[in-house]
Amino acid sequence: MVSLGLEDKVVVVTGGNRGIGATIVSFLQELGAKVAFTDLAIDEGKSSALGIKADVTSLESMEEAAKQIEEKLGPVYGIVANAGITKDNFFPKLTSQDWDAVINVNLKGVKNTIVPFIAGMYERGEGSIVSISSIVGERGNLGQTNYGATKAAVIGLTKSLAREAARYKVRANVVAPGFIDTEMTLAMPEKVRDKVTAEIPFGRFGKPEEIAWAVAFLLSPVASSFITGEVLRVNGAHYT
């Protein structure tokens, strides 16, 4: 029997209360992982995973969450830095508040998610970090200079971290989804959704499960054991 080797591995997913994050949480549970997730609010009873209220923009909040997770589930093997927001506007109209908000969640938030766990991973000599970037970080998109800047930065952060962490046998990779059906993209006006769909060679948006498979592969100590510093695009040939 072939297995991804995630049974009993402790994995933390940020922004796991809904959308892609919630799908990743339940998917990893099905693979036998012990999963904890964080979010700004936790819907009680929605998930059987350990849900902890924490804000990725605050290092203090993430350190407190990390303490609780490791006390309850044990040392963390895997991190999925998934929490992200959009605050779209054309560049000349983009406010400093919307610039800062997106940088704080999507870039600083990834750093704040990794920092509380990385020393332990180095000590144990194992771990896998998967950060969720976006097609927009590589290809760009109208109205998303702030979002695109953060998603490109996450790739840069990961490439350097992968080099630093390699000597400790800790890996860091990125999944870059194309347009995926979630609350985030359902908020797009129908006309825009139709236009985007027409640009995707697969002729449809992706499904959250298709991102969860990619994340599970990159977390796996078996399937991706020699893969680090990579960007795995999951976008139906929207950007190749």
Under the binding rule (CB under 6 A), the answer on residue 234 touching ligand NAD is no
> Residue 36, SS3?
strand
Q: Kindly state the helix (H) or strand (E) to which residue 132 belongs, with its residue range.
A: strand 127-132
Contacts (CB under 6 A) with ligand NAD, residues 81-140: 82-85, 105, 109, 132, 134
C-alpha span between 78 and 217 (Å, rounded): 12
From the CB of 82, what's the least distance to ligand NAD, in Å? 5
Tokens describing residue 16: 């796991």
C-alpha span between 33 and 10 (Å, rounded): 6
- Residue 147 annotated in active site: yes
Under the binding rule (CB under 6 A), the answer on residue 158 touching ligand NAD is no
> Binding string, 164-203, against ligand NAD, x = CB under 6 A?
-------------x-xx-xxxx------------------
From the CB of 137, what's the least distance to ligand NAD, in Å? 9
C-alpha span between 234 and 24 (Å, rounded): 14
Contacts (CB under 6 A) with ligand NAD, residues 8-67: 14-15, 17-21, 38-40, 55-57
Tokens describing residue 56: 């990725």
Under the binding rule (CB under 6 A), the answer on residue 210 touching ligand NAD is no
Range list of H helices, 31-181: 59-73, 96-103, 109-124, 135-139, 145-165
Which of 76, 73, 72, 27 has the alpha carbon at shortest distance from 47?
Answer: 27
Q: Known catalytic residues?
A: 147
Residues of this chain that interact with ligand NAD (CB under 6 A) are 14-15, 17-21, 38-40, 55-57, 82-85, 105, 109, 132, 134, 177, 179-180, 182-185
